[in-house]
Amino acid sequence: MTAPENSDTPISLPRIGDPAPSFTAVTTEGTVNFPADYAGKWVILFSHPADFTPVCTSEFITFASMQAEFAAYNTELIGLSVDGLYSHIAWLRTIKDKISFNGHSGVEVKFPLIEDITMSVARQYGMIMPGEDNTKAVRAVFVIDPAGMIRTIIYYPLTLGRNFDELLRVIKALQTAETFGVATPADWRPGDRVIVPTAGSCGVAADRMDGRVDGVECEDWFFCTKEISADDVEAGIRKG
């Protein structure tokens, strides 16, 4: 579905597995051509409702304080709101000069913050939800892989700040699944057992159930796990 740039009708939400919608935008770190400028990188593209608001301020301090952690996993951060560039700059300076949160103060936000006063990018990504607010973006998170494909989508309402430990866990889990050819179960953290692909034949299923596949433990033929140490996970995914 398409809509005119200034329409109040939101564009439908991109889906997991879709190419990330492309755009060129002015940001606090210069012009960004997305996703072309980030080829070969994982990206967290996230929206926030407005500058100079307390929940958003707490989130930007948290994201900025964790930027190096995300970078260690080949992951870049890009923020967006429908405010203008000068508002962005003034807000980020205020954060650095005046605001403390969770033990962090003097935090400098060095990742790009997109100016989107026309809401064109927000509409491309389905970030404007009139049931919540038709003039502000909700708290959307898009995780985009090095090939420019959408891999995870998370949405939060205006009143709910994001869980940043979970966002880092998502990055680690996606990269672990891709690197080791596995899936990650509920509440997985590096060092926890991972799920191996379901057996593709009766013979493989029988071998697993009989304990003839080293390192693989099965609850039933379709639910089998193996151990990958936290050190091996970290070594494998930090190569990316």
Strands 42-47 and 75-81: parallel
Catalytic residue among 56, 202, 218, 224: 56
Using CA of residue 103, residue 108, residue 109, residue 115, what is the dihedral sign? positive
**Which residue in 13, 81, 73, 90 sits closest to 45, CA to CA?**
81
List the Cα angle 54/57/60 in 5-degree steps. Answer: 155
H/E run at residue 208:
helix 202-209
Q: How far is CA 85 from the centre of its chain?
A: 23
Q: Is 56 a catalytic residue?
A: yes
- Known binding residue 139? Answer is yes
Going across the sheet that includes 42-47, the strands are 30-34, 23-27, 113-115, 75-81, 42-47, 139-144, 150-156
Binding-site residues for substrate sit at: 139
Q: Which residues are catalytic?
A: 56
Binding-site residues sit at: 139
